A = this chain, B = another copy of it.
Amino acid sequence: MKLSTLTLSFLLMSGVVSAQEKVSFVNPMIGTVKMGHTFPGACVPHGIVQLSPDTDTIPHSINGVYQKDTYKYCAGYQHDDNTIVGFSHTHLSGTGHSDLGDILIVPVTGEYKFNPGVADKPRSGYRSHFSHDTEVSRPGYYEVVLDDYKVKAQLTATERVGVHKYTYPANEEQKLLLDLTHGIYNYDGKVLWASLRVENDTLITGYRITNGWARENYTYFAISLSKPIKNYGYVDREKPKYTGFWRKFNLQKNFPEIAGRKIVSHFEFGSDNSPLIIKVALSGVSTEGALKNLEAETKGKSFDKIVAEASSKWEKELNVIDVEGDSDKKTMFYTSLYHTMINPSVYQDVDGQYRGIDHNIHQAKGFTNYTIFSVWDTYRALHPLFNIINRERSVDIVNSMIAHYEQSVHKALPVWSHMGNENWCMIGYHSVSVLADAIDKGLNIDKKKALEAMISSSNVDYYDGTGEYKKLGYVPFDKNGSGSSITLEYSYDDWTIYNTALKTNDQAVTDTYKKRALNYHNVFDPELEFVRARYSDGHWKTPFNLLSTHGEGFIEGNSWNYSFYVPHDVKGLIKQMGGDKQFVQRLDSLFTMHLPDEFFADTEDVTREGVMGNYVHGNEPSHHIAYLYAWTSQPWRTQYWVREIMNRMYRNSIDGLCGNDDCGQMSAWYIFSAMGFYPVCPGSNEYVFGAPYFPYMKVKVGDGKYLEIKADKVSDKMCYVKSVKLNGKPYTKAYITYDDIKNGAELTFEMAATPNKKRTFSEADKPYSLSK
């Protein structure tokens, strides 16, 4: 749903937003169809609650057969569905794997149904039809009418509480379902245990423990109700294996303490015609923690007040960047900014208690604990972005990662972690990059402890080929099907350790990791001048397909794309690739070569629009590639291709995202690229120039300090950089540094309709490279 003129007018009239407000430019519906995997529901910045409609929950396997469609529902919602199962409280934003969907609530009327039913059989379960015409989605607020029940549902949230307002048809008995079996990426047995207590007639507590992508996820809750429960009960969708002496009771009716593996409970509230308001607080610690969260964040607050506060929280966060430009582009920009502010999410109770990776309860001391670290994606641009626009949060995130390391039996930083669990998704030990970048930016973290954690994480020999990598200098294909991808990424990660060690004058570490940082050479076939799958004995894989993403030693990328992945040693890479001319030709070819559609049938996580030539923007390994021209003789080409990518792959429409948003990484790429520069090599101090996207941007980089980015007359035509000034003075480098902008700066671009091919860079003015 695009925010319609009518809706906007209504919002303006109602005073919820004013024309100047940033929230009015956010369209949470962008990316909610196909591969975006975003959700339209209500949340506040980095809150742990994402209260959103689930339109389906295809189990991940039926009778042992994997269901491909499961993948569609990573965020629980696909815009082309026409039924809503209910509203659940936790959703990942833009991921390529799915989980969560905890604590599903459905307002219903009439006869109960205790299973969700299937979309193509109307009324086969409790799910309801809905129309997008009734949907309203804006930051912190979602609204829809469930047609089958004629219930208007309005949702909002605080950091830890989902708030529901249900308006039932007149004179109907108001009913609720609370389905503790529901989940995203559900399978038979995912819920290990669920428990529910009706504490009194307006308060319910409970929890469930699930074995999903998060191997052991503890979701505690406390639900306060605006009116007393008249009657309640439950069904257990599985015959309990053991009931003991609980059989004494009539558990099914008005019995306040139920538990089991497959519990669906129901509540009735009479028919007094007033709306029912429900506040659902979450905690990873305990029901006591959920009650504290409920009280601290919502006590005494009306639904409308919470809606207004949620909007204010977004406005405050989005206010970090002012942008001038056309409405569609501003919408895409602020929606992207919005998407960078959902995950990571605060994972602690209001009193600082949280469940660690060891599943013990810890007290966060001196930091706020965060979770949902899609690090393979987000180390690239999201964390670097935080280091500019939200350094405090970045410190918290780094401290959360270090706490994870300290609790980890592997003594490793997060790979892909959520809800107190490591899920090991994707490759690399890229948290080292996140720490390195924070240290490089001078953030207030314990450098010594951080370096210890980085070194330790890179020496878990049983982790994904690390032992082989240390021994052979690469991860062999016969031991690991993604060995060449991994080798490249470890090389970069090792560079971040090298670069951090440099700052702490640790010579032994510096030497070791400098050597490791050059390991990428070991997977470059000198004949092909491309990265190739290599066996333990040193032989290259034959036959070898440069274009296939499957079975050739790579993951989420082919050799063509991955061969450009040496962000820390681009000069070395250019040599390895045969020199400037061939390197530029190859970059050009990447963006322009013609490949038949069938070729992309197996490419993960991206729509056909997410591919340009052989360049796959919908997956992350290529995100820096368009910026590599900066090291070549033809840097202007970056300006062209970056704008092409922005225009083609980020569109203000429901299907406007070309691939998974990946917890904000895709969006962070867009924010950086719009600013006119990009962190090709996080951990270095440099951002490599592209070209600005908007005529004016003002980026808050600290208290009262701003980076202003001026590009008068910039447009799709006037997309080339003629010259650059920093604080009014001509600026001739291919990059700016963090130190240049951290205390505010004015960056002025003179734009032109044709490339300034004379604007090339001396070796000294080129961006960082390990090899000179």
Contacts and interface: CB of A to CB of B under 8 A. Distances in A.
A591 interface: no
Contact of A424 (B205, B209, B246): B246
A212 interface: yes
A257 interface: yes
B246 A211 contact: no
A15 to B, nearest CB: 42
B462 A254 contact: yes
A195 B424 CA distance: 17
A220 to B, nearest CB: 9
A212 B212 CA distance: 23
Contact of A215 (B199, B213, B215, B259): B259
B216 A250 contact: no
Interface residues of A, number: 48
A190 interface: yes
Interface stretch (A354-362, A367-375, A519-527): A354-362
B241 A189 contact: yes
Interface string A209-234: 10111011000000000000000000
A351 interface: no
Interface in A232-280: 241-242, 244-246, 248-250, 254-257, 259
A2 interface: no
B199 A256 contact: no
A473 B286 CA distance: 41
B241 A216 contact: no
A19 interface: no
A425 interface: yes
A197 interface: yes
Contacts of A245: 416, 423-425
Given A212-B242, A246-B215, A254-B462, A360 B192 contact: no
Contacts of A198: 409
Contacts of A187: 241-242
Nearest to A212: B242
Contacts of A207: 359
Contacts of A425: 244-245
B212 A193 contact: no
Given A216-B259, A462-B254, A190 B242 contact: yes
A74 to B, nearest CB: 14
Interface string A302-325: 000000000000000000000000
B409 A256 contact: yes
Interface centre among A209, A213, A244, A358, by most chain B C-beta atoms within 10 angstroms, is A244
A420 to B, nearest CB: 12
Contact of A209 (B193, B286, B462): B193
A250 B212 CA distance: 20
A605 interface: no
Contacts of A241: 187-190, 211
A123 interface: no
A89 B171 CA distance: 59
Most buried by B among A190, A193, A425: A193
B209 A242 contact: no
A288 interface: yes
A191 B249 CA distance: 24
A349 interface: no
Nearest to A250: B462
A635 to B, nearest CB: 39
Contacts of A287: 358-360
Interface string A442-482: 00000000000000000000111000000000000000000
A60 interface: yes
A193 B190 contact: no
Contacts of A515: none
A260 to B, nearest CB: 9
A630 to B, nearest CB: 35
A464 B248 contact: yes
A248 B197 CA distance: 39
Interface string A509-521: 0000000000000
Given A409-B257, A424-B248, A462-B255, A242 B211 contact: yes
A213 B189 CA distance: 21
A409 B464 CA distance: 48
Interface centre among A192, A245, A287, A425 (most CB of B within 10 A): A245
A244 B257 contact: no
Given A241-B211, A244-B213, A409 B197 contact: yes
A207 B192 CA distance: 15
Interface string A35-50: 0000000000000000
Contact of A423 (B188, B209, B244, B358): B244
Contacts of A209: 192-193, 209
A286 B212 CA distance: 22
B286 A360 contact: yes
A60 B242 CA distance: 10
A226 to B, nearest CB: 21
Interface in A418-434: 423-425
A192 B189 contact: no
Contacts of A255: 462
A757 to B, nearest CB: 47
A192 B288 CA distance: 23
Contacts of A242: 60, 187, 189-190, 211-212
A358 B245 CA distance: 18
A98 to B, nearest CB: 11
Given A188-B241, A198-B409, A250-B462, 17 more contacts: A190-B241, A190-B242, A192-B193, A193-B193, A193-B209, A207-B359, A211-B241, A212-B242, A212-B244, A213-B244, A216-B259, A245-B423, A248-B464, A257-B410, A286-B359, A288-B358, A361-B361
Which 4 residue pairs across A and B have the least CB separation, nearest first?
A245-B424, A197-B409, A189-B241, A288-B360
11 contacts: A195-B359, A198-B409, A209-B209, A211-B241, A212-B242, A213-B244, A215-B246, A215-B259, A287-B358, A288-B360, A361-B361
